[in-house]
Amino acid sequence: MTETINNIADVIGWEAIRTVVGLVGVLVVVVLNALILTWAERKVSGHIQRRIGPKEVGPFGLLQPIADTVKLLAKELLTPQNVERPLYYLAPVIIFIPVLVSFVVIPFDARLQVKDINVGILVILAFSSLSVLSILIAGWGSNNKYSLIGSVRSIAQNIAYEIPLLLSLLSVVLMTNSLSLRDIVEAQKGGGWYVFFQPVAFLVFFIAGVAETNRTPFDLPEAESELVAGFHTEYSGMRFALFFLAEYTNVFILCAMTTTFFLGGYHGPFLPGIIWFFAKTYLLVFVILWFRWTFPRVRFDQLLNFSWKLLIPVSFLNLIITGGLLKL
C-alpha cells in the first residue's frame, strides 16, 4: 500500500496527491453538510413550532434529504423565455466557486487543513465577496422584476455587512499578529479563547455573518412571503438545489470561521480535535437555526441602518480599544 503510494508520488509529486485528497475531503464535507443541514433545519424548525418535522422517510426522517435530492434531480429544468442565457446558466455555477475555495483554509484539526495559506482570512473574505457577484448575475439574468429587486437588496446587504465582518476580525488579527488561520487557532491553545477577550467582536462578527449568508432575520432577499422567492424565483430543479446548497454551505463556513476565530477551533480536552471542531460548529449552526424561528424579519432600511450606524462604529471602536490596550 505504501509502496504504491510512493510510486505514484514519484510520478506526479506529493503536492498533487495532497490536492486530490484535499479536494475529495472538501467535497465529502460539503455534501454531507448539506444533507445534515436540510434534515436538521426541518427537525429543529418542527420542534420549535411544537410539531414533529419529517418522520416517515427513514427513522426520524433521516432519509428525507435523500428524498429531497431525488425530487430535485427529477424536476424539469424550465428555462423561462427571454432570460439572458449565459448569465442565467452561469449563476448557479459561480455561486459554488467561492464556497469551495473557502474550505481550503479552514483548519479542521491540527493537521487537517488542505493548505495553510498565510493570508487565510483574506482568502475567505475575498471569495465571499465573489458570491455577491453570482447573486447579481442571477437576479439580472432571470428577466424578472422580483428577482432583480431581490438581488439588488441582497447585494446592498452583503456589501454593508462585509465591513463589520472585516473590522471585527481585525481585532483578532491584532491580537495574533498573523492572518493565517492556523496561527489564530494555535494562539487560543490552553483555554484562552478569543470570545473571552473580544466578546464584542464575537457578537458583531456573528451578526454580520448571519447577514452575509442571507439568513433570518436578514433574509429579505429571499423572503418567501414578500418577494415570491427573491433572486432564485426563476430557478427550478437542480439549479435551485445548487443555490440552496451554496446557502447551507455558507452557513457552515460562517460557523466554522466563528469557531476558528473565537471559540478555539479544534482545541478541547480528551476528544480528538476534529470532533471538538464539528461540535462547536454545529452548535453555532443550531443557534442560526434557532434565530430563524425567533426573530421577525428586519425591514430593509432598518437592516442597512443597523449595519452603517451601529455595527460599523461599534466594531471600529472595538478595534481602536484593542489596539490601544495591546500597545500598553
Partner 1 sequence: MAMTNPVSIIKGAVSLIIGLGVTIKAFFRPVVTCQYPREVVTIPPRFRGHTKLVGDDENPDRTRCIVCGMCERNCPSGAIRKVEGEKREGEKKKVATAYILDFTTCSQCGICVEVCPTDALAFSDDYNVAGYSRENCHFDLVKEYEKRKATR
47 forms part of the interface with partner 1 (CB under 8 A): yes
Q: Considering only the stretches 47-55, 91-99, 111-119, 149-157, report the one whose residues sit in contact with partner 1 under the rule CB under 8 A.
A: 47-55
- Among residues 255, 258, 277, 275, the alpha carbon closest in space to that of 266 is found at 277
13 or 313: CB nearest partner 1: 313
What is the Cα 291 distance to its own chain's centre?
16
What does the longest C-alpha to C-alpha distance in the chain come to? 64
64 or 147: CB nearest partner 1: 64
166 or 200: CB nearest partner 1: 200
- The amino acid present at 191, given as its one-letter code, is G
- Enumerate residues 307-326 that contact partner 1 by CB under 8 A: 309-310, 313
Q: Nearest distance from residue 65's CB to partner 1, in Å?
A: 21
Distance CA 235, CA 139 (A): 10
44 forms part of the interface with partner 1 (CB under 8 A): yes
| Cβ-Cβ contacts under 8 Å for 75 (sequence gap 6 or more) | 236, 237, 238
155 forms part of the interface with partner 1 (CB under 8 A): no
- Among residues 266, 246, 132, 131, the alpha carbon closest in space to that of 193 is found at 266
Could you say which of 118, 129, 177, 305 contacts partner 1 (CB under 8 A)?
305
Q: What cell numbers appear for 18 in the block?
A: 495532497
Per-residue string for binding with partner 1, 256-295, x by CB under 8 A?
----------------------------------xx-xxx
14 or 293: CB nearest partner 1: 293
22 forms part of the interface with partner 1 (CB under 8 A): no
- Among residues 236, 220, 185, the alpha carbon closest in space to that of 71 is found at 236
Could you say which of 50, 74, 76, 327 contacts partner 1 (CB under 8 A)?
50
Distance CA 206, CA 281 (A): 12
Distance CA 184, CA 106 (A): 11
80 forms part of the interface with partner 1 (CB under 8 A): no
3 or 56: CB nearest partner 1: 56
In angstroms, the Cα distances linking 20 to 24, 114, 115 are 6, 10, 12
89 or 291: CB nearest partner 1: 291
> Which residue in this structure is represented by grid cell 447577514?
211
Applying CB under 8 A, the residues found at the interface with partner 1 are 44, 46-52, 290-291, 293-295, 305-306, 309-310, 313
